[in-house]
Amino acid sequence: MSGPVCALCGTPAPAPFRAPQPEIAPDLDMRPGEPARSTLRDWIAVCRTCGAAAPDLAALPEAARPVVASDEYRMLSTTVLEETLPFRRWALICERTGDSAQRAEALLQAAWAADDAAAMTEASRLRTEVATLWDGTTDTELGLRRLDVLRRAGQFDAAAAWAAELGQRGPDELARTIIGFQTARIAERDVGRHLISAALPPPAHTPHVAHNKRATTGFWSRLLRK
């Protein structure tokens, strides 16, 4: 019998975690709704032998080996909030192997883990890093997520400026609605989490958003394409 093994050391590794389908709308930064939301800690596996951290240990590239062996990687366990450690390790691997898109997602997941641990300063700091990585993005969805990330980091001036920039790009109706919702929250100095469904017009416009069991992380994209 042979199952997946860690690509770096050959230790048996779990298969990549598959979160259950969300039944509730995601947050504005695309953290999925329950029941997927509360499985966050299972998204990154950590190899019990070599300490590698990744969504799929069997798929780690050879370039991850020196990263996992580095002092910087090992020192993370003494310098970052424990709940965020797997995500920070995976983010460092992504950084050193040149995958900045995955790195940003890993750091945002670390911010969610910090949220869950009520470590608001750490969550805010991590969001600031994500916002920097997404600075200047021309991708509509990433641009809207960056707006939420800036607001929740308490970077209200930067958030207001980014909202203005997004507004000048000729957003479609849905994006305009979300930008308007965020602008009102920014004016209130609100750093709280909000569901996408809270930002959208009344249900006639978006039927079944909250109850559609097929709604997944892709539904933002589908909404944006409507």
91 makes contact with Zn ion (CB under 5 A):
no
53 makes contact with Zn ion (CB under 5 A):
no
> Whole-number minimum distance, CB 52 to Zn ion, in Å?
5
Residues in binding contact with Zn ion, number by CB under 5 A:
8
Q: Binding residue for Zn ion (CB under 5 A) from 8, 76, 153, 186?
A: 8
Per-residue binding string, Zn ion, 33-52, x by CB under 5 A, is --------------x-xx-x
6 makes contact with Zn ion (CB under 5 A):
yes
Task: Return the number of the residue (50 or 163) whose C-beta is nearest Zn ion.
Answer: 50
Determine the angle formed by the axes of helices 140-152 and 173-187, rounding to 10 degrees.
10
> Whole-number minimum distance, CB 92 to Zn ion, in Å?
15
Task: Return the number of the residue (7 or 104) whose C-beta is nearest Zn ion.
Answer: 7
> Whole-number minimum distance, CB 106 to Zn ion, in Å?
18
Task: Return the number of the residue (6 or 149) whose C-beta is nearest Zn ion.
Answer: 6
In degrees, rounded to 5, the angle at the alpha carbon of residue 39 between the alpha carbons of residues 37 and 41 is: 115
Task: Return the number of the residue (8 or 149) whose C-beta is nearest Zn ion.
Answer: 8
Say if residues 75 and 91 touch (Cβ distance below 8 Å).
no
Task: Return the number of the residue (8 or 178) whose C-beta is nearest Zn ion.
Answer: 8
> Whole-number minimum distance, CB 48 to Zn ion, in Å?
8
9 makes contact with Zn ion (CB under 5 A):
yes
144 makes contact with Zn ion (CB under 5 A):
no
Bridge partners (DSSP) of residue 37 are none
> Whole-number minimum distance, CB 21 to Zn ion, in Å?
30
DSSP one-letter string for the chain: ----B-TTT--B-PPPP-PPPP-SPPBTT-PPPTTTGGGGGGSSEE-TTT--EES-GGG--TTHHHHHHSHHHHHHHHHS-GGGHHHHHHHHHHHHTT-HHHHHHHHHHHHHHHHHTT-HHHHHHHHHHHHHHTTT---HHHHHHHHHHHHHTT-HHHHHHHHHHHHTT---HHHHHHHHHHHHHHHTT-----BHHHHSPPTTTSTTTTT-TT--TTHHHHHHH-
> Whole-number minimum distance, CB 76 to Zn ion, in Å?
16
Binding site for Zn ion (CB under 5 A): 6, 8-9, 11, 47, 49-50, 52
